[in-house]
């Protein structure tokens, strides 16, 4: 265990390929917080999230996520960090050639689960939690967009992580389904989860206030409420 915040950034720079997209970032996120990550397309939101879950190497500065030093992460150890966080993508990120159950089983294997009985039980638990208790046998193409995103959220919850990162999780959904998914996602901080979500949805931010990280002009501004940065 660690006494550090779940996210601690000190003078961090974030690169996309060879270009610096964000620099001089210093911020922290504590347990149970809701943080919106906003900014124009290309402002660095997705690159920052990718850095937080170890997909992009930290360009400079100090970063700690869920007790793991981002500078010290290596390809063979990044799975340890990912057992401590969940990631939800705009495009769902499901493997289209295998069932819902097989998608979730693959994610468990990738994060070190070995026991088949334990995996089966955990898959049933997370599918029930997102309202899809009897859809494990389905292929992704047999599900609606909202159901596919529910599977993606279930996948993010598999390791019961304290931190969830969401990158435009409703960007491909219709308005009604968007509200259903946002209602589901926003119950997570009430359950002790911490949520950092990239979004353009101002209506949701007004309805469900939280802190805001705004990316613009190569920097990130940390503000207390969304209404102040319109």
DSSP string, 80-135: HHHTSEEEEETT----TTS-HHHHHHHHHHHTT---HHHHHHHHHHHHHHTT-TT-
Tokens, residue 126 = 């997370």
User: With 60 as the cut, is the pLDDT of residue 227 above it?
Assistant: no
- Average pLDDT estimate for 40-68: 92
Q: Can you tell me which residue has the tokens 């509200």?
A: 179
User: With 60 as the cut, is the pLDDT of residue 229 above it?
Assistant: no
Percent of the chain scored above 70 by pLDDT? Answer: 96
Tokens, residue 205 = 């931010």
166-202 residue pLDDT tens: 998 888 888 888 888 888 888 887 788 899 999 877 7
CATH annotation of 32-54+75-211 = 3.40.50.300
- Average pLDDT estimate for 136-150: 94
The distance of Cα 185 from the centroid of its chain, to the nearest Å, equals 10
87-103 residue pLDDT tens: 998 888 899 999 999 99
Q: Name the pTM for this structure.
A: 0.87
Q: Which helix (H) or strand (E) holds 51?
A: helix 45-52
Quick one: pLDDT at residue 120? 96
Largest CA distance in the chain: 50
Quick one: pLDDT at residue 225? 59
Q: How many CB atoms lie within 10 A of CB 127?
A: 21
Q: Can you tell me which residue has the tokens 């039980």?
A: 121
Quick one: pLDDT at residue 203? 72
Pair 120, 126: CB distance under 8 Å:
no
- Average pLDDT estimate for 138-157: 94
- Among 64-68, 80-84, 212-216, which is the least confidently predicted range? 80-84
Smallest CA-to-CA distance from 198 within 8, 47, 93 is with: 47
Per domain, the residue ranges of the chain are: 32-54+75-211
Helices (H) then strands (E): counts for the chain: 7, 10
**108: CB partners within 8 A, 6+ apart:** 119, 122, 123, 158
Quick one: pLDDT at residue 27? 93
Rounded Cα gap, residues 123 and 115, in angstroms: 12
């Amino acid at each position: 265990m660690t006494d550090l915040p779940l996210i601690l950034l000190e003078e961090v720079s974030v690169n996309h390929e060879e270009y610096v997209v964000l620099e001089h970032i210093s911020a922290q996120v504590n347990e149970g917080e809701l943080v919106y990550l906003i900014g124009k397309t290309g402002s660095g939101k997705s690159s920052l999230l990718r850095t937080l879950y170890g997909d992009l190497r930290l360009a400079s500065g100090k970063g700690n996520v869920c007790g793991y030093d981002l500078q010290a992460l290596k390809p063979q150890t990044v799975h340890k960090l990912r057992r401590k966080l969940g990631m939800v993508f705009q495009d769902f990120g499901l493997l289209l050639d295998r069932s819902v159950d097989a998608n979730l089983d693959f994610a468990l294997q990738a994060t070190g689960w070995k026991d088949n009985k334990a995996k089966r039980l955990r898959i049933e638990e997370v599918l029930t939690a997102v309202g899809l208790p009897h859809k494990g046998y389905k292929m992704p193409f047999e599900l609606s967009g909202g159901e596919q995103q529910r599977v993606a959220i279930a996948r993010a919850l598999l390791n019961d992580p304290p931190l969830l990162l969401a990158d435009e999780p409703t960007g491909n959904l219709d308005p009604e389904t968007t509200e259903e998914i946002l209602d589901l996602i926003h119950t997570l901080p009430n359950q002790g989860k911490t949520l950092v979500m990239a979004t353009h949805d101002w209506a949701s931010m007004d309805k469900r206030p939280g802190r805001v990280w705004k990316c613009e002009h190569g920097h990130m501004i940390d503000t207390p409420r969304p209404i102040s940065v319109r």
